[in-house]
């Protein structure tokens, strides 16, 4: 039974209403000073279906930095530029109970590509003659997948993080000492932070998610943008590791492969159905948006999006 557009819109509006009780809960990420310069109660939701229908709500024009959601793109790029075996020789596939920027889950290699150590590693696997060329390739992929030329580089966010990124610097140097990569550690870190500073809005990000929900193919032409093999890996890693140390609980409650970022966005991907982006910058202790994660749970229930049901 197919619902009419107005009926779907009404249903989503009801779900958004239910999420209003989480407004005001949580704190902004202040460890990157520039991330604190936003409206703490800003809110946006976008759902883009694999058939190209777009449902936008709230501050849809608000541009935020991708932060850790860029780890998904970095993994896709690493898988484009290397064999699967070569990628997973350098980075593991297991969830971790430690914080996203912890040095503990490195052991012989980072436990998965969606924590900082893992994404610094995938950044080291991206091909290009210098950091500028590598970053341009990442940016071009984001533009292509989000079907938007407006994707920007947020210089203020980048500079702000560069000034305060001692922990990531330690991680990059530690990885190099472990021979996970042999490139210049500062350059690898530079690319990682640039990736985190890509500016996007909720609708563009949901479109990017819809392409992945569509098996990596363009929503209109069906042309392959990301290989099916890479999509399969990325979604599996999002499901098991995308919400940091809350990944297991989130998968159990929500059942949607998702990736969060400390700017307050969460990207959810429902295979064969849609990409979803929530934006609400107040975070819990793990760095996940409180209203966002709860809205995804509500939507999963109300719109029947749990991949296990
Ligand atoms: N740029 C952030 C960092 O490295 C990304 C972390 C996140 O979004 N969880 O700390």
Q: Is 196 in the pocket of ligand 1 (CB under 6 A)?
A: yes
42: helix, coil or strand? Answer: coil
Q: What is the pLDDT of residue 99?
A: 85
Q: Is 269 in the pocket of ligand 1 (CB under 6 A)?
A: no
The residue whose CA is least distant from atom 6 of ligand 1 is 68
Interval 44-69: pLDDT, tens: 999 999 999 999 999 999 999 999 99
- Return the ligand 1 atom nearest residue 100 CA: 9
Can you give the pTM of this predicted structure?
A: 0.97
CA distance 213 to 232: 10
Instruction: Write a three-state SS string for 69-124.
Output: HHHHHHHHHHHHHCCHHHHHHHCCCCCCCCCCCCCHHHCCCCCCCCCHHHHHHHHH
Q: Is 168 in the pocket of ligand 1 (CB under 6 A)?
A: yes
CA distance 276 to 305: 11
Checking if the pLDDT of 1 tops 60, the result is no
Interval 166-224: pLDDT, tens: 999 999 999 999 999 999 999 999 999 999 999 999 999 999 999 999 999 999 999 99
DSSP count for the chain of H helices, then E strands: 12, 8
Candidate of 67, 245, 288 to mutate for ligand 1, largest count of ligand atoms within 8 Å of Cβ: 67
């Amino acid at each position: 039974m197919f619902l009419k557009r107005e009926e779907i819109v009404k249903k989503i509006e009801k779900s958004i209403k239910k999420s209003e009780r989480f407004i005001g809960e949580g704190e902004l990420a202040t460890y990157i000073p520039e991330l604190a310069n936003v409206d703490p109660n800003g809110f946006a939701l976008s759902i883009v279906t694999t058939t190209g229908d777009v449902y936008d709500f709230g501050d849809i024009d608000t541009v935020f930095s991708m932060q850790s959601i860029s780890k998904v793109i970095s993994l896709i790029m690493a898988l484009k530029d290397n064999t699967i075996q070569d990628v997973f020789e350098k980075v593991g596939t297991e969830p971790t109970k430690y914080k996203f920027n912890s040095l503990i889950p490195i052991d012989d290699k980072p436990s998965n590509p969606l924590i900082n150590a893992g994404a610094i590693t995938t950044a080291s696997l991206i091909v290009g003659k210098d950091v500028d060329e590598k970053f341009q390739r990442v940016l071009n992929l984001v533009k292509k997948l989000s079907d938007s030329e407006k994707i920007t580089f947020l210089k203020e966010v980048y500079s702000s993080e560069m000034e305060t990124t001692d922990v990531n610097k330690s991680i990059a140097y530690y990885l190099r000492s472990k021979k996970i990569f042999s490139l210049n550690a500062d350059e690898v870190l530079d690319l990682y932070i640039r990736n985190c500073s890509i500016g996007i809005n909720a609708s563009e990000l949901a479109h990017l998610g819809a392409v992945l929900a569509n098996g990596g193919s363009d929503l209109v032409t069906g042309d392959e943008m990301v290989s099916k093999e890479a999509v399969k890996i990325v979604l599996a890693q999002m499901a098991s590791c995308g919400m940091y140390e809350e990944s297991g609980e989130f998968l159990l409650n929500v059942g949607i492969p998702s990736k969060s970022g400390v700017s307050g966005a969460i990207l959810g991907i429902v295979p064969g159905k849609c990409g979803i982006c929530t934006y609400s910058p107040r975070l819990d202790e793990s760095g996940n948006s409180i209203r966002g994660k709860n809205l995804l749970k509500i939507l999963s229930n109300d719109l029947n999006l749990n991949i296990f049901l």
